[in-house]
Amino acid sequence: MKNLVLFCVVASIVLVECNSQPAKNNTPSHGEMMAKASRSEKNGWIVVHLEGSPYVMGYQHGYLLASEIMDLRTTLRVVNEQATKKTTEFFREESYRLLWPGVPAEYRDEIGGIVAGVNTKLGSDTIDIKDLVAMNASLEMAGYYVPWLDNQEKPMPPEHCSAFAATGSWTADNKIVMAHNNWSEYAIGQRWNIILDMVPEQGHRMVMDALPGYIHSGDDFNINSAGLIVTETTISAFKGFDTIGVAEFVRARKAIQYASSIDEWAAIMIDGNNGGYANDWLIGDNKTGEIARLELGLKNHFLERTTDGVFTGANYPVNEKLLKEETSFDPTDKNTSANMRKLRWEELMRGHKGKIDVESAKLFMADHYDMNRGTENPGRFSLCGHIDLESIGKNEISWEGAFFHAGAVQAKATDSRLADSLQFWAIMGHPCGKSFSAKAFLDAHPEYAFEKEVLRDMPGQQWMLTEPITKQ
């Protein structure tokens, strides 16, 4: 009888182990997993094609971008520890504790695949699940959770980006035009040079720009094979976080992978919203020509839509209720970048009504007009931001120091015709093409020497058109 009991216990353990891990003889070989993956480089961009099951796509991602992922992990450690005074271990543990329980099995498998791919390529266990969760959650944890946790009276998550969407009589062909430039710390933005072309087993094919190791875009420029085009800009001076909500990086990825309409996309983003990385989202449906703006706070959300109009974003709250209840933003302050860029957007849209196309979108992304000073001046008030040129800093957000090394680090633009083939124009570095020298900057501003090992040059680049993709 004792032997029978022992046998049953052992058999049960084996059964559990078999159910929790794939059998080795069913695990695809390295060659099989990499068969449909590819990597190419052009104009500062790294274009990666991923295809297969969640684990296989993750493995391809980790293997093809292993060195870039490890480099980003180091950079995030330097930037986040300096900005928040929290350790890397804090972000690893808190991101995993708060957000991992709400990550669906599909994305858990993909993240696990990224870890396996990196470690296989580098030949050692150099990265783990907690690293990848912390990296994917870096925007919402550093900018939203930490201020909430520290009970900051006026939290100042950094502004990210300038963007617009137009359709109907506002564009040259009466169809959608959308563009976005990414404002970021240069050390991070210089690494925001991945273009992911993803063909999952379930859901839609997706193309997006991203940081290495991200299962989502992060700055959120996405096109899917169901005809959706999506981007966003953050809401300035936002406060609030729900520790039991679903991670923004999960919702953003799920929405672009599975939604086929504006309503479906918005519903996924709203469901389980944790308030992390609160944005004004711009969404276009290429099937109908309709565009929308979803302003998504924690307590409030508002969806506007039109088939003949324009929506712009420059980090200003739109709805009065959200502004008053969830931000400390002052819409009357003329020394606030978001307010001045809002005025510039209004001027540009009025002046180009009926003529907006992808070429004018590129010019908008590179625009240097300063509404505060009434002149051409690349700096904190221009749509193409150059905060490193500003002696007064950008003190309405967390990039407070004079000559802080942040601003527009890349840009993307598309229209209905291009989006139909999952294509867009992209430029790495300042959208205006102006270069940035890390050595010259650090020599002039030694107070930022803490980033010496991670700050890179941003050479001037030219716009690049991505390859056409046949929808699957």
- How many Cβ atoms are within 10 Å of 40's Cβ, its own excluded? 11
In the predicted structure, residue 11 carries a pLDDT above the cut 80: no
What is the per-residue DSSP string for 60-129? HHHHHTHHHHHHHHHHHHHHHHHHH---HHHHHHHHHHHHGGGS-HHHHHHHHHHHHHHHHHHTS----H
pLDDT, tens digit, 9 for 90 and up, residues 165-219: 999 999 999 999 999 999 999 999 999 999 999 999 999 999 999 999 999 999 9
Helix (H, G, I), strand (E, B) or coil at 233: strand
Contact 402, 350 (CB under 8 A): no
CA distance 235 to 278: 6
Which residues, listed in sequence order, are joined to residue 280 by a DSSP beta bridge? 233, 295
CA distance 149 to 126: 30
The pLDDT value given to residue 152: 82
* Structure-model confidence comparison of residues 23 and 401, the more confident one: 401
In the predicted structure, residue 10 carries a pLDDT above the cut 70: no
Query: What predicted TM-score, i.e. pTM, was given to this entire model?
Result: 0.93
CATH number for 39-465 (one of 3.40.640.10, 2.40.110.10, 3.60.60.30, 3.40.50.920): it is 3.60.60.30
Angle, vertex CA 238, rays to CA 235 and CA 244, nearest 5? 110
Which residues, listed in sequence order, are joined to residue 208 by a DSSP beta bridge? 196, 222
CA distance 8 to 369: 76
Distances (CA, A) of 446 to 347, 394, 455: 38, 18, 13
The pLDDT value given to residue 400: 65
pLDDT, tens digit, 9 for 90 and up, residues 59-83: 999 999 999 999 999 999 999 999 8
Q: Hey, what are 220's tokens?
A: 């959120």
Mean pLDDT (the chain) is 92
Burial class (CB in 10 A: 0-12, 13-18, 19+), 375: exposed
The pLDDT value given to residue 450: 94
In the predicted structure, residue 89 carries a pLDDT above the cut 50: yes
| Mean pLDDT to the nearest integer, 15-27 | 44
The pLDDT value given to residue 396: 41
Torsion, CA 145, CA 148, CA 150, CA 156, rounded to 10: 90
Largest CA distance in the chain: 91
Handedness of CA 212, 216, 221, 222 (dihedral sign): positive
The pLDDT value given to residue 392: 76
Among the ranges given (261-275, 315-329, 383-397, 452-466), the one the predictor scored with the smallest mean pLDDT = 383-397
- How many Cβ atoms are within 10 Å of 374's Cβ, its own excluded? 8
Contact 83, 142 (CB under 8 A): yes
CA distance 424 to 229: 10
All structural domains of the chain with their residue ranges: 39-465
pLDDT, tens digit, 9 for 90 and up, residues 117-133: 999 999 989 999 999 99
pLDDT, tens digit, 9 for 90 and up, residues 144-174: 999 999 988 776 666 689 999 999 999 999 9
What is the separation of C-alpha 72 from the centre of its chain, rounded to a whole number of angstroms?
14
